Amino acid sequence: RRLKLPQYNTFDDVVKQLHNAKNIVVLVGAGISTSLGILDFRSDNGFYARLAQHGLSEPSEMFDIRTFREEPGIFYTFAKELLPETHHYSPSHAFIRLLEQKNKLATLFTQNIDNLERETGLSEEKIVQCHGSFATATCIQCKRKIEGSLLYDDIRNQRISYCTECNQPPTKKRKLASSSDRMSSDAYYRENGTEEEEDDVPQAGVMKPDITFFGEALPDQFFEKVGNGDLEKTDLLICIGTSLKVAPVSELISVVPPSTPQIYISRTPVRHTQFDVNFISPFCDWVIVELCKRAGWLKDLEELCNE
Ligand code: OAD
């Protein structure tokens, strides 16, 4: 991709783009929620580092669908750390809603599962939750879908949540995973204080929040948005607070036309792809506020933040 650095390399150049653009695509990750106390995944003090401290040898295994089917307790031991305790949203969230109010937002692709974009009032049809969210949950056996909030008590109390329709919790303790003594299962049973080996109990009837795990397909909505040709019309791409390490979301940046200016706002630079403008700042909110100030939108942003 030919970069357009001479044209788009200052705050004011980006502001000009913001004023001119009519079909902005925004792609966000965990970095837009860390100012609210929610952990990101791959920072030194992020969620995966924390899982590693608890002994998980492969932290991202927590989101592996095979692991979940075999040992849902691993997910239920740690999921409370990701469950948002807040309905507040950050200026970066508000900015996306502001773009919609100004009729500039084509689509928000979010990898976040905290569901906080919705709190800003953003229209449903603008949001693609690429990795799902805690908002709903599905029984892995009978596929019954329920409100995700019905699981919150179990998640907060680190209990596996079972479907009330098709299954009761197993009465016997699960056998330790026989094969490998993987760190992950050790860690889980350490947390849960059981070392007894008993008959294997099928993990049917476990409820799973509708988060897209590794090994699962992304929601249809993602592929519809990518496949319907709309991204061709993108006239500005803004990526905020994501390491762009997870495919296929990371590949979105190559789906927009090569001539579309691409802006990256985050704490850590990305090395594996090039943007026209990189705003590297400890807090993406600072960059957003500065852009809005220069665009003459600060009052609008403040109003949204105070709602
Ligand atoms: P990562 O943790 O990989 O990346 C977050 C990025 O945001 C990093 O580059 C941080 O430096 C940056 N960052 C953190 N706080 C920031 C702040 N206040 N201001 C600016 N930048 C900040 O998170 P994602 O890219 O979202 O999957 O991770 C993608 C997926 O990997 C997630 O959706 C998750 C995970 O496996 C699921 O939840 C299923």
Contact at 8 Å (CB) between 10 and 90?
Answer: no
Q: What is the pLDDT at residue 55? A: 75
Q: What is the pLDDT at residue 57? A: 76
What fold is seen in the domain 41-83+132-211?
SIR2/SIRT2 'Small Domain' (3.30.1600)
Q: Which atom of ligand 1 is nearest to the CA of 40?
A: 2
Q: What is the pLDDT at residue 177? A: 37
What fold is seen in the domain 1-38+90-131+218-307?
Rossmann fold (3.40.50)
pTM of the model: 0.87
Q: What is the pLDDT at residue 21? A: 97
Ligand 1 contacts CB of residue 50 (under 6 A): no
Domain borders along the chain are 1-38+90-131+218-307, 41-83+132-211
Q: What is the pLDDT at residue 51? A: 86
Ligand 1 contacts CB of residue 245 (under 6 A): yes
Catalytic residue positions, numbered = 131
Residue 189 φ/ψ region, left for φ over 0, alpha for ψ in the -120 to 50 degree band, beta for the rest:
alpha
Q: What is the pLDDT at residue 194? A: 40
3-class SS letters over the chain:
CCCCCCCCCCHHHHHHHHHHCCCEEEEECHHHCHHHCCCCCCCCCCHHHHHHHCCCCCHHHHHEHHHHHHCHHHHHHHHHHCCCCCCCCCHHHHHHHHHHHCCCEEEEEECCCCCHHHHHCCCHHHEEECCEEEEEEEECCCCCEEEHHHHHHHHHCCCCCECCCCCCCCCCCCCCCCCCCCHHHHHHHHHHCCCCCCCCCCCCCEEEEEECCECCCCCHHHHHHHHCCHHHHCCEEEEECCCCCCCCHHHHHHCCCCCCCEEEEECCCCCCCCCCEEEECCCHHHHHHHHHHHHCCHHHHHHHHHC
List, run by run, the mean pLDDT of 10-residue segments along the chain (307 residues): 58 94 98 95 92 80 90 92 88 98 98 94 96 94 93 95 77 41 33 39 78 93 92 96 95 92 95 91 96 97 92
Q: Which atom of ligand 1 is nearest to the CA of 29?
A: 26
Largest CA distance in the chain: 67
Q: What is the pLDDT at residue 166? A: 83
Among protein residues, the one with the nearest Cα to ligand 1's atom 14 is 31
Taking the centre of ligand 1 as the mean of its atom positions, its distance from the CA of residue 155, in whole angstroms, is 22
The yes-or-no answer to whether 1-38+90-131+218-307 and 41-83+132-211 have a common fold is no
Taking the centre of ligand 1 as the mean of its atom positions, its distance from the CA of residue 118, in whole angstroms, is 19
Taking the centre of ligand 1 as the mean of its atom positions, its distance from the CA of residue 236, in whole angstroms, is 21
Q: Which atom of ligand 1 is nearest to the CA of 242?
A: 25
166 annotated as a binding-site residue = yes
